[in-house]
Chain A
Amino acid sequence: MPVEILMPALSPTMEKGNLAKWIKKEGDAVKSGDVIAEIETDKATMEVEAVDEGTLGKILVPEGTQDVAVNTPIAVILADGESAGAIADPAASAKAAESAPPVAAAPLEPSPVAASAPAAPAVVNSAVASPPQPAALPEPDVPEGTEMVTQTMREALRDAMAEEMRRDGDVFIMGEEVAEYQGAYKITQGLLQEFGARRVIDTPITEHGFAGVGVGAAMAGLKPIVEFMTFNFAMQAIDQIINSAAKTHYMSGGQIGCSIVFRGPNGAAARVAAQHSQDYTAWYSHIPGLKVVAPYTAADAKGLLKAAIRDPNPVIFLENEILYGHSSPVPKLDDFIVPLGKAKIARPGADVTLVAWSIGMSYALKAAEELSKKGIEAEVIDLRTIRPLDIDTVIASVKKTGRCVTVEEGWPQSGVGAEIVAQLVEKAFDYLDAPVLRVTGKDVPMPYAANLEKLALPNVQEVVDAARAVTYR
């Protein structure tokens, strides 16, 4: 029976790719393990290996084809003794189609996950895969008339580091796979080539050790950027971050500073389960002696990272893997800095205040659109820096709206939302017309199953519901 080879998904977030090259030609024998084609994803060129054995009967998608959707049949493999004629046999191809999983036929777009239909990884985060048009967002830190260029957050972060490294010879970056591999998530692309191995340093897998080395170097006056492949692995190093980086200035009576940035992706990625998906915002925001930053737009990512590198204190810079590939306008300026500690109003409104940051912003902005259709105008505040917390901006908004909902992917207990609620109760109680509600990740470790993962994360509807509850509409 001829077997169809489908366009494979080669990363947790891939939806389509380019068929760069056929390594095997029609008529070639293939056995499992043979490389048959090369496929380009947004991050890399990957090889496709055959699983089934036989002869490459027919190539359905010629090389050079762009944007081939995942699960499109790209070739047919014939078993021993089958002729290419079998491909045309309708019965045979119907059978092949039958054996393909239901997902093959289904478009990869947001759909409720039915128990029987396997969910493609892309589905899980599709709610945030198409962020609201950031072009519409006001950029308070950009002078009027500035030319904007569209960049991914990945590029913006890279540019921020490159600019600061050009400016200051004491800035260097270290971490796992940051140099030769160009970054596990390709954030340090090109840095080794420009700055060399003295300043772009691959470390062994020794988070506790290299975080400590970074802190020590910072105590000696250098300005390290320490990349954690993800913040999940910074747990190995959290003692050096808190006990050494955050406290030494205080313990030394102000003698010893620690100008260091710890950065990397934080929060849930797609389908990587409990040990690889959690939000550490609240953890670090608890610690005096640290600053904590978490950008949502590419422009903020660039301006805030540059500010973080220049800051004389330890800064925890929390990125988000799902946002890395998202594009938004970045001002074309020689030295674009966004000050730490300042929230911004991403969308003005008078009826309810939504407070979010990082990927939480995508839920908040989408909810604001939904609410607007119902005649409720939400003011969306992007905190950008979590510590020091710009509570004044939140209070000013709440004075206007009288209602507030916080949005975060982290857990509810002792979360950032809990802190905002507490401060509003202490400082703005008289302006509140309703209890402040929190939309958070569910109080469970992140499950792997697609349906459960979706439930564990906050979603747009929960934000809409909370906003309607506090506006009594």
Chain B
Amino acid sequence: MRETRPTVHVSFDGVEHEAFVGESVLECARRCGVTIPSLCFLEGLTVWGGCRICVVEVAEDHRLRPACATQVAADMEIKTETPRLRAYRKSILELLFAEGNHVCAVCVSNGNCELQDMAVFCGMDHVRYDSQAPPREVDSSHPKYVFDQNRCILCTRCVRVCDEIEGAHVWDISHRGEHAEVITELNRPWGESLSCTWCGKCVAVCPTGALSYQGRAIGEMEHDPAMIKRLAVARNRGEWLDPGVMT
């Protein structure tokens, strides 16, 4: 199908590209094969703009912009790789690691973790900030899934997918600042939830070891965030995918 949307010119790191009016800098970059790292963003869900890993610079503007939550504009000159951006991205990652309890060596997601991959991508070999070591709970009351708060980075993908795609709205965010946490069923054990349909979408999209299937040992948990894009596309087009087509 030919795209008939109006376009404008933008440039990424000095190279010109055509952008669709209304799309975000991140969407445009992905389409053009330009790498901008992201964590809370997930294709198929609404934009949250919370993690700020996707920050970019726009020429002549000292403010950093989150690429996932910034719309393209005509003749925008976008920089995706500068020493300043690299420094900020690394700091953000270090803060995420310092804020929770990340012990990769004993984590279900070790080796299959978007956060760990991002640390490698951003060159984080150690954390300069003091680790907060907060006391956090593990909720394994659900028959199929486990929520380990120690690994949660508050990306809200679980909140959004359960509300927007599954329509169950089991998850919410409670408290603020360093006390913020995601909760199930208005802060009741997940296993007692009457609204959870056991669809597993929240588990599929979690970027870390915070959500996993019961019984997974170290490094055994693999997520499938791309599933949501398949569902969202199918729903938008009013199609249904043959299960055999889904990989």
Do A and B interact? no
| A residues neighboring B (CB under 8 Å) | none
